[in-house]
Structure 1
Amino acid sequence: MDFIVQPPRMADAGSTILRTVIVRLQMTDTNPDYAVADSHNLMAAAALVPGPHSTGSPDPNVLNTLLGGHRIASIHPFADDEADGSIASMDMAGPQGVGYMSFPGLVVHQAGTFRLRITLLRTADGAAIQLVDSNPFVVQSTAVQVLAHPITASTTVLQC
């Protein structure tokens, strides 16, 4: 597996990551028909892991609470997209390409330095087959400032 579309280098905490992260599944078996047929028995899961020089918790239970969005993906065979004439997916496939997984709308809810870890899982028994980590990215705090402007009311009383 490898990342076709990495997360951006910077993101805002609590906001959707501006790119759909895409990971390519490549075959290691010499029989491409078997690899494509077996891809229906696989799925991928996205998780956060600490990035370099991270000061946050490395506890997976804590990190799991920080990532939102589309975290589970099935394998989409390149052949399906190629039949639709998508040049982009034909370029992504390469000679060893089996399919891809996309993770749209990911959200990191806390500032820090992270990597995305994509784990390929076999659906029958949940066994982890392979994993790949993204490049590190920094999530910035998005402190919202509320400015209070006092409203002053003046009343004029007219007497006749």
Structure 2
Amino acid sequence: MARRFNNTHSLDGSGRSYSLQVAVQPPRVARAGAPLYPPLAIRVHICDVETGEEISGEDELNNLFAQATLYGENINSPPLAPPDMFLLSGRLSMSLDLLNDAPGESDEDAAPLSRQQGSYVIFPDLVINRTGHYRLGVSLFKVGGSRRGRSSEDPHGGGTSLEEAKSNVIIVQEDSAPVEIDPEEQQFLEHIRDRGIMVPSPPST
């Protein structure tokens, strides 16, 4: 069953807007202590405020990074991890990559993702270590310069928060669960794998 993307939007002081879209949802049911599959992946869209056109954002990619946070299932619940450093493990802070180096807008035979602008971030090895019902949140941060984001400084000392998106609910249990992935999400993972990005394989059954 297809799961709708979570999309959020924010402006900063540079004449650009930023939106986050959950391109690959984490699993609906996961095993405690095991890496999440599918891995959470986020599309980052950067638009020129004056023209409304999406741009690659390549010129500021080195100043942007994403941070994963674990919440309870209530969309407005406070963060659980951090501060709980055991509950969520793996690489919680990740840099962004371009979705395409040169989008092939004129190539009508190219796959749709190959014709798109923007960047993305993938969290390949997140692990939730206790049973329960959770959501993952991903915040986009910018370092350097003066920016007006949704909130002030990142509590981890990383920069200014621009935007956050949250995943669907994840049920974490003691037992393993069958892998479920939407075809569009599978296509996204295959696209970035073809670009040389290390994407984890489904767990063996």
Q: What is the TM-score when the length of structure 1 is the normalising length?
A: 0.71
- 1:68-122 alpha-carbon deviations (Å, 9 max, x no partner): 1122111101223868xx947426x3xxx41000100110001111111000011
Deviation at 1:33, TM superposition (A): 5.0
Match of 1:8 among 27, 32, 39: 27
Pick closer, same or farther for the CA change 1:57–1:43 going to 2, 3 Å. Answer: closer
Match of 1:76 among 97, 114, 132: 97
Match of 1:42 among 64, 70, 76: 64
For residues 128 and 42 of structure 1, the distance between their equivalents in structure 2, rounded to whole angstroms, comes to 10
1:65 has 2:86 as partner = yes
CA contact (8 A) 2:58 2:98 kept: yes
CA contact (8 A) 2:45 2:54 kept: no
Pick closer, same or farther for the CA change 1:59–1:135 going to 2, 3 Å. Answer: closer
4+ aligned runs moved over 3 Å, structure 1 = 30-34, 56-64, 86-89
Corresponding residue number in structure 2 for 1:153: none
CA contact (8 A) 1:2 1:23 kept: yes
SS of the equivalent of 1:80 reads: coil
- 1:1-30 alpha-carbon deviations (Å, 9 max, x no partner): 111100010001101112121100001324
What RMSD over aligned residues (CA atoms) do the two structures have, in Å?
A: 3.0
Unaligned runs of 5+ in 2: 1-19, 105-109, 145-157, 176-205
| Structure whose CA Rg is larger | 1
Higher relative contact order (CA 8 A, sep 6+): 1
- 1:52-80 alpha-carbon deviations (Å, 9 max, x no partner): 39xx9855544443111122111101223
SS of the equivalent of 1:47 reads: strand
Q: What is the identity percentage for the equivalent residue pairs of Structure 1 and Structure 2?
A: 27
1:3 partner amino acid = V
For residues 60 and 71 of structure 1, the distance between their equivalents in structure 2, rounded to whole angstroms, comes to 10
Q: What is the TM-score when the length of structure 2 is the normalising length?
A: 0.56
The total of aligned residue pairs comes to 135
SS of the equivalent of 2:59 reads: helix
CA contact (8 A) 1:52 1:113 kept: no
Match of 2:169 among 136, 143, 150: 136
Corresponding residue number in structure 2 for 1:113: 133
- 1:32-51 alpha-carbon deviations (Å, 9 max, x no partner): 55733122210001110111
CA contact (8 A) 1:57 1:63 kept: no
